[in-house]
Amino acid sequence: MPIKQLFTIITLWLATMGAALAQFDHTHAQWTALLKKHVVVLDGGKASQLRYAGMAADRAALHTYLETLAKVSEADFKGWNKSQQLAFLINAYNANMVEKILLRYPNIKSVWDYGKLFGNPFKDNFINLFGRKMTLDNIEHDTIRQPGAHDDPRIHFAVNCASIGCPMLREEAYAGDRIERQLEEQTVRFLSDRSRNRVNAEGKLEVSKIFDSSPWYGNDFRKGHKGFSTLEGFFAKYANLLTDNAEQQKLVRDGKAEIRHLDYDWGLNDAKK
């Protein structure tokens, strides 16, 4: 084979490989740029709010990112590693939730303004993903939480339901090469928020409704995933975040603290400033 022809073949092959590698940005840089610009971190990093007015002004950039997600085929997705898949799904959930809020913003005070029976925002087929219409519930419950898919209860500190009671919307996108650190940091941030998780003066463990049983997610922490076989065992690992009192910490570590669930604030996590 002539050298010139061989060079042409190699050049075309490299171009094809380069295009394939550049097909999807696993750093989710577009989403990170929007989050860094509009997420307001509160209370030393334990909570956050989102400037929806700013996101509305950058709606075109948000749509560009959502279109990038929508172009990923299911076959391509299945070819990625588990960490890349999980990061993609969490980002897809969070970005589409923001888009859902913007459809009515500023005339919306809670995600439930859409309705709980008719118009339920979590069951609305408004998301374009894998070549079909999907719902927020499809992403979270049927894909992320599908048994054997990821089996990590910490995802509940990452997916964001646009509500004050929800664990914070992170100020950067999730990425496969650092998602383990990100999930652990989100866990620490949420459990450190004494307005939502704490030991009270009576030694009772008052925690977010997230940890309640079905239809909430307490059972996800009882399946033995990530070394947690009980909800009490999960809290035991993070006892020092829930109280500064040494005796109360021991109570939590010994699994002897009675668990109570706090009310959930469904108000919109909107930063007005």
Residue type, 193: D
CA 140 to chain centre: 9
Q: Which pLDDT does position 228 carry in this prediction?
A: 72
Distances in whole angstroms, Cα of residue 208 to Cα of each of 27, 112, 195, 246, 270: 31, 19, 9, 22, 20
Sketch the domain layout of the chain as residue ranges: 26-179, 194-264
Q: Are 122 and 197 in contact (CB under 8 A)?
A: no
> Quick one: pLDDT at residue 2?
64
Which candidate, 216, 168, 172, 175, places its Cα nearest to that of 89? 175
116-135 residue pLDDT tens: 999 999 999 999 999 999 99
**pLDDT reported for residue 272:** 84
| pLDDT tens per residue, range 60-119 | 999 999 999 999 999 999 999 999 999 999 999 999 999 999 999 999 999 999 999 999
At residue 13, the pLDDT reads 44
* pLDDT the model gives residue 166: 98
42 DSSP β-pair partners:
47
pLDDT at 27 (0 to 100): 98
The stretches in the chain having pLDDT less than 70 are: 1-22
User: What does the radius of gyration of the chain's CA atoms come to, in whole angstroms?
Assistant: 21
Q: In sequence order, what DSSP letters do the residues of 120-154 get, joined into one string?
A: -TTS---EEETTEEE-HHIIIIIIISSTTT---GG
What pLDDT shows up at residue 142? 98
Q: Output the pTM of the full model.
A: 0.91
Give Dmax over CA atoms of the chain in angstroms: 84
3-state secondary structure 208-271: CHHHCCCCCCHHHHCCCHHHCCCHHHHHHHCHHHHCCCHHHHHHHHCCCCCEEECCCCCEECEC
So what's the pLDDT on residue 146? 95
Residue 6 confidence (pLDDT): 52
Return the pLDDT at 22: 53
